[in-house]
Structure 1
Amino acid sequence: MSLAAESVDIRLGGRAVLTDVTLALEPGRFVGLVGPNGAGKTTLLRTLAGLVPPRRGRVILDGTPLLDLSRDARAKRIAVLFQGAGAGWPMRVRDLVALGRLPHRRAFGGLDASDHAAIARAMARTDTAHFAERLEPTLSSGERMRVLLARALAVEAAWLLADEPITALDPAHQLDAMTLLRRVALAGTGVVAILHDLALAARFCDRIVVLGAGRLVDDGDPDILTDRRLAETFGITVRRGVAPDGTPYILPWHRSDPPPEDIDAALPQRS
């Protein structure tokens, strides 16, 4: 089930946020959406989900204009995970994850066996089953993000769109989440995630889409994150290396524009 943006323009508050963005996405791939703050990443994700109508252009889902589909039809096919998208009132974790099954349920209908199975799978995959009875306000920010990811996975949609899914997680759970998202993609779901950690994006994603000032400036495999691209788009220089297993990695090191002050001299000296 393909998902594509065709010549999309978005204006919010009279300001151009996205300009002429064309992007074709395929299922079964983990796409990292990267770019500096204010580049339009979240707006693009919301547009792909059908939550922001384009001023010009359109989004196509499997050959059909997305906005021609009902809200329920879109919700069954596209699961979303946005920052701050909690329940708004105290709920048990299990009940919060169960909200992911709403698009599949009849009005006022209860959960059936397939719903319970999907909820259990999502909680097992996100390591949240052991606090299923806790209330959302008692969760740490990292635990809460994992629960929201479980809710999105419980939809079992063809597409998963995630806005900064690892930002609140500790390093171990960041690795777990990136591994999980990659496995979800390998199982056939299309995954698009906004990421700020360029090292993890380059390591785990099949494809990198770079936005800058509301425009698509690069698109391809992780090798597009060249020194020149990182300097022009993010204003940084990086250190590069190769892990023992042969995987290359990058580490943001300095601002490249404007030239930094003597950062190394300001850092604590190690003996």
Structure 2
Amino acid sequence: MRLAVENAVIRLGGRTILNGVTLGVGPGEFVGLVGPNGAGKTTLLRLLAGLIAPATGRVTIDDRPLNDVSRDERARRLSAFFQNAGIGWPMRVREIVGLGRLPHRRTFAAESAADQEAIARAMAMTEVAGLADRIEPTLSSGERMRVLLARALCVEAEMLLADEPITALDPAHQLDVMALLRRVSHDGAGVIAVLHDLTLAARYCDRLVVMAEGRIVADGAPATALQDGLLRSVFGVTAQRGSHVDGGAYILPWARAGREPGETRP
């Protein structure tokens, strides 16, 4: 499956949030959307999910306009979760995860063996099986984030859209989730994730799309997309770079551009 947006413009509240954005993502790609606050990353993700419509431009699935694809087909082929998504009412964790199987079931039909296997698989992947009987309001923010990710993975869609999937997670679970998303993509699904941690984004993503002021300003492999000049102009930071003993390169935002490390200003 290839998900694409062409020359999209989004205007909200009299402001232009996206301005001429063109992007395509195919199977097996783990793409990180990065950029400063207010760059338009989550708006782009919502556009790709079909939650908002562009003023101009279009979104396509396999070159078909998104509006020509039925809701049922979209729900099976495209899965998304957003960090501020509401559950609606108190539910047990297993029930929440099970909602991801609704696109595969007829109305009022009971869970099939395949549904049950998919639910168990998604809960194991996100390490929430031990929370199965917990009610959603009793979860921590990090636990809730992993439950929402499990629900999205349970769809077993061809494309996964994830809005800040490692927000509120402790360092160990951040590493786990990034490794999981990379594994999902390498198993054949496309993954597009909004990320703020440039170190983890550069380490795990195959490709980074850098946004600023509603536009895409860089798109490529992490080492190509996160050049020093772009880090200064877009993020306002300088970075330290190096290589780990396993041979992997890393990038670490280090200081505000134009300031010495540790220097503060009023």
- What runs of 5+ residues in structure 1 fail to find an aligned partner? 267-271
Corresponding residue number in structure 2 for 1:39:
39
Residues 209-220 of structure 1 aligned to structure 2 (within 5 Å) = 209-220=209-220
Corresponding residue number in structure 1 for 2:262:
264
Q: State yes or no: 1:30 paired with 2:30.
A: yes
Q: State yes or no: 1:247 paired with 2:248.
A: yes
- How far did 1:264 drift? 2.3
Residues 55-94 of structure 1 aligned to structure 2 (within 5 Å) = 55-94=55-94
Aligned residues: 263
- How far did 1:49 drift? 0.7
Partners of 2:167 and 2:46 lie apart in 1 by: 18
**TM-score when scaled to structure 2?**
0.96
Residues 95-244 of structure 1 aligned to structure 2 (within 5 Å) = 95-223=95-223, 224-244=225-245
**8 A Cα contact 1:86 1:148, kept in partner:** no
**TM-score when scaled to structure 1?**
0.94
Partner SS state of residue 156, structure 1: coil
Partners of 2:41 and 2:118 lie apart in 1 by: 29
Q: Identity over the aligned pairs, expressed in percent?
A: 64
Partners of 2:89 and 2:179 lie apart in 1 by: 31
Partners of 1:12 and 1:87 lie apart in 2 by: 25
**8 A Cα contact 2:254 2:261, kept in partner:** no
- How far did 1:7 drift? 0.6
Corresponding residue number in structure 2 for 1:12:
12
**Stretches of 4+ aligned residues off by more than 3 angstroms:** none
Partners of 2:67 and 2:44 lie apart in 1 by: 15
Paired amino acid for 2:217: V
C-alpha RMSD of the superposition: 1.1
Partners of 2:187 and 2:28 lie apart in 1 by: 7
- How far did 1:28 drift? 0.5
